[in-house]
Amino acid sequence: MFQFSKLVQRFLQQQRDDSELRRMDSLQENDLALNKSEVASLVHARQGVRDQLVEMARRFGVSEADIDKDRWRALEIVHACNNCAQSKSCYQFLLGGKNIGFKQNSCPNAAQYADLSGRN
């Protein structure tokens, strides 16, 4: 019953977020320096995506500040991580899982992280 309650709460929050996004005007977009689709992609990102991508970046020697330095790059990294087909394997890898078939360089953001760390 608890899982169903959490699911309903998440659904209702998503409805409120969507309603708020629809009401955004151009002044609010300018204040955020993001357009509605960029805000929506961040609002609808899977839970924990930011923590996961920051931890993976750390493995490449990249800080959270490095990621956030350029807004365009931060949005690309979030988008790639959020849509990654290997997110569960990645999560297990980051927790120290062994023999899970995930390699750090198979991360869709590996090239971005390598570029940020100066390895490219």
Looking up tokens 């988008």 gives 79
**Rounded Cα distance, 17 and 20, in Å:** 5
The string of DSSP letters for 85-101 reads: TTHHHHHHHHTT-SSSS
Same domain for 29 and 67, yes or no, is no
pLDDT, position 81:
92
pLDDT in tens, 58-76: 989 999 999 999 888 988 8
Q: Is the CB of residue 49 less than 8 Å from the CB of residue 78?
A: yes
- Report which of 61, 51, 48, 49 is spatially closest to residue 120, judged by C-alpha positions: 61
Q: What is the mean pLDDT of the chain?
A: 80
**Rounded Cα distance, 107 and 5, in Å:** 33
Residue 39 lies in a domain: no
Same domain for 60 and 25, yes or no, is no
Q: What's the mean pLDDT in 24-28? A: 71
22: containing domain: 1-33
Report pTM.
Answer: 0.66
Same domain for 58 and 11, yes or no, is no
